[in-house]
Chain A
Amino acid sequence: MRDPARGEAPLVSIRDAHKRFGDVEVLKGVSLEVAKGEAICIIGPSGSGKSTLLRCINALVPLDAGTITVSGIEVTDPKLDKIVLRRRVGMVFQQYNLFPHRTALQNVMMAPVHVLRQDRREVEQRARELLRKVRLEGKEGAYPGELSGGQQQRVAIARSLCMQPEVMLFDEVTAALDPETVKEVLVTIRELAEEGMTCLLVTHEMGFAREVADHVYFTDRGVIVEHAPPAELFSAPRDPRTREFLGRIL
Chain B
Amino acid sequence: MELIAEFFRDLRATTGLNFTIFYDPFDAARFWRAFLLTCELAALSVLLSVAIGIVGAFAQGSRIRPLAWLVNGYVAFFRNTPPLVQMYFFFFALGAITPTVPDDIGMEVPLVSNFAWALVALSLFAGAFNVEIFRSGIEAVPRSTIEATEALGYSRLGAYRHVVLPLAFRVCLPALNNNLVNLVKTTTLAYAIGVPEMLYVANQIWSDALNVTEMMNVLLLLYIALVSLLVWLMHCWERAMRMPGYGA
Could you list which residues of chain A lie within 8 angstroms of chain B, going by C-beta atoms?
Answer: 58, 60, 82-83, 86-87, 89-91, 93, 95, 97-101, 110-111, 114-116, 142-147, 159-160, 163
Contact = CB atoms under 8 A, between A and B. Distances in A.
A57 to B, nearest CB: 10
B151 A82 contact: no
Contact of B144 (A93, A111, A145): A93
B244 interface: yes
Contacts, number: 71
Interface residues of B, number: 22
A93 B150 CA distance: 12
Interface in B130-144: 142, 144
A82 B166 contact: no
Nearest to A143: B244
Give the 6 A-B residue pairs with the shortest CB-CB distance, closest first. Answer: A145-B245, A97-B148, A86-B153, A111-B152, A146-B245, A91-B151
A51 to B, nearest CB: 11
A60 B150 contact: yes
B10 to A, nearest CB: 56
A97 B147 contact: yes
Contact of B153 (A98, A99, A143, A163): A163
Given A101-B243, A144-B245, A114 B154 contact: yes
Nearest to A58: B151
Contacts of B170: 101
B241 interface: yes
B167 interface: yes
Contacts of B151: 58, 60, 86, 89-91, 93, 160
B131 to A, nearest CB: 22
Nearest to B143: A97
Most chain B CB within 10 A, of A83, A93, A100, A147, is at A100
A83 B163 CA distance: 17
Given A114-B158, A114-B162, A145-B245, A99 B145 contact: yes
A239 B48 CA distance: 65
Nearest to B142: A97
B144 A83 contact: no
A86 B152 contact: yes
Contacts of A82: 150, 153
A60 B147 CA distance: 8
A30 B213 CA distance: 82
A115 B154 contact: yes
B63 to A, nearest CB: 14
A100 B145 CA distance: 9
A193 B155 CA distance: 29
Contacts of A110: 152, 162
B152 A163 contact: yes
Contacts of B166: 101
Q: Classify the secondary structure of B's interface with A.
A: helix
A164 B131 CA distance: 38
A95 B154 CA distance: 19
Given A143-B244, A146-B245, A86 B144 contact: no
A87 B154 CA distance: 10
Given A101-B170, A114-B162, A115-B158, A83 B153 contact: yes
A21 to B, nearest CB: 15
Contacts of B246: 100, 143, 145
Interface in B160-203: 162-163, 166-167, 170
B53 to A, nearest CB: 19
A100 B241 CA distance: 11
A97 B145 contact: yes
Nearest to B162: A114
Contacts of B158: 114-115
Contacts of B150: 60, 82, 86
A139 B154 CA distance: 25
Interface string B224-248: 0000000000000000010111100
A160 B153 CA distance: 11
A145 B153 contact: no
A111 B245 contact: no
Given A93-B147, A143-B245, A144-B245, A100 B152 contact: no
Contacts of B243: 100-101, 143, 145
A93 B243 CA distance: 22
A60 B142 CA distance: 16
Contacts of A87: 153
B150 to A, nearest CB: 6
